Structure 1
Amino acid sequence: MPKKIIKRFLPDHQTIKNHKALKMFGTVLHDPNLWHLNRKSASGAFGIGLFFAWWPVPFQMWLAAASAIPMRVNLPLSMATVWVTNPFTMPPMFYLAYLIGTTVLGAPERHFKFQLSWQWVVQSMETIGPAFLLGCGICSVVCGLAGYLGLDAIWRYSVSKAWKNRKLRRKKMQ
């Protein structure tokens, strides 16, 4: 069951409620729907997390939390899913976003060398920025929808399978 697998990896809700970065949300975090794990809340949270994972900003978890709260989906799952982008996966993911952006814009692919400086970021936003940001937006929407629909389908399939197995066990008992 997806619920058992997901619960194994999620932190305790008290730990998240007491996290210093989330104190700005106040008592809103006491809504039980933010901690409940069902098909709707898990699928929505997974979609939100994948949506914000493609955003090239340093505060993706806050954005995921700020979206999960009004949508009343599982808060820990939405924040954890954002970590699909991490220091190891970010370069290939963002390069893919750049390639998608250049394809959609019909712009030529520019070769660049990454430098860890603010000057490079400003300069690159003028040259490769439009294609990169468009690619990030496209990947964000596509992956968010695919994550939502995919987890929803997996959840429905597992529940259906569990019902069928239960039905077969009952027949065997009779």
Structure 2
Amino acid sequence: MHRRHAVVLFVLVVALLQGCASLQGRDPLQVTVAGIEPLEGQGMELRLLVKLRVQNPNDSPVNYNGVALEMEVQDKTFASGVSDESGSVPRFGESVIAVPMTISAFRMVRQAIGMLQGGAGPGKIQYEMKGKLSGSGFGATRFSTKGEFDMPAATAPNAT
């Protein structure tokens, strides 16, 4: 009887190792914001529907069952959101995924004060967007993108 358990355990370990090996060598997903729409909020919050364009440069599809997204501005959490949307990003293809996000009034005020105090530099705002597409079992595909954009001169802190 012990031999049967050993064979079953061996088969499970080999299957697990093959699954892990298939995850190696994947190129990262390319994620950009495709659109933003306002949503109705509650009290002291701003709600937005963020549409992400997810491009998969790999030879196999990325199946997901849930999405989590966080946006940092000037190295501070600014907005976050989750969605139980499920689907697949095809191999060498792309999909648009919608995630409702929430920004609290306190976070907006904190960011405004930081920009007024010169934390943003001369008219530059740095951002980073991190998230994951949750798969089944151990599978979660994480993504990250960052950059900066210029504030219009009329609204830039310290503009004269």
Give the alignment's TM-score, normalised by structure 2. 0.25
More helix by share: 1
Structure showing the higher strand proportion among its residues? 2
Q: Which protein shows a greater Rg?
A: 2
